Amino acid sequence: MNMAAYVAIIGTKDNPVYELEIGGGSEKQDKSLGAHLNQFIVHASLDIVEQVQWTSNALYVRSIDQFHELYVSAYITPSNMKFMLLHHPQSSDGIKIFFQEIHELYIKTVMNPFYQPNESIKSQAFDLQVRSLARKLL
């Protein structure tokens, strides 16, 4: 499995609640986009996510966008949080399970009374669990 990927949980105001870079640094460094190429690609894909969410009842909307050899897959929760994954071509089953597992972790985070929705997730436990899921499923 190709490990290079970028995971982001985007809030309702285009704010990143959680981000994770997996695998090596991006091989393509764009001069104007610099080291934040992944963030820009994911941010641009939000347009399509916002369109697709009105035409599909499913939470997992599969691969919605592409930038050269990178694909963007998305998972939209009922509370309009967007789980985005920037990855190389791979099986969508693993990605779907990955998103579902992260969704469960996210629900547990939201149930924490000290956590406000749309706030960034700083929990190390959350981070470790996401990393281990990524290693296992992606």
Distances from the Cα of 27 to the Cαs of 38, 70, 74, 82, 85, in angstroms? Answer: 11, 12, 23, 26, 17
* Residue 35 Cβ vs another protein, minimum distance, rounded to whole Å: 9
Q: What φ, ψ does residue 7 adopt, rounded to 5°?
A: -110, 140
Say which amino acid occupies 129: Q
For another protein, the closer of residues 4 and 46 by Cβ is 46
For another protein, the closer of residues 29 and 92 by Cβ is 29
* Residue 100 Cβ vs another protein, minimum distance, rounded to whole Å: 18
* Residue 10 Cβ vs another protein, minimum distance, rounded to whole Å: 8
Rounded to 5°, the CA angle 133-72-94 comes to 35
* Residue 136 Cβ vs another protein, minimum distance, rounded to whole Å: 28
Q: What φ, ψ does residue 117 adopt, rounded to 5°?
A: -60, 145
Residues forming the site for another protein (CB under 8 A): 11-16, 30-34, 36, 39-41, 43-48, 50-51, 53-55, 57, 78-80, 117
For another protein, the closer of residues 89 and 117 by Cβ is 117
Please list, in sequence order, all residues whose beta carbon lies within 8 angstroms of the beta carbon of residue 76, skipping any fewer than 6 positions away.
49, 53, 59, 61, 82, 83
For another protein, the closer of residues 64 and 133 by Cβ is 64
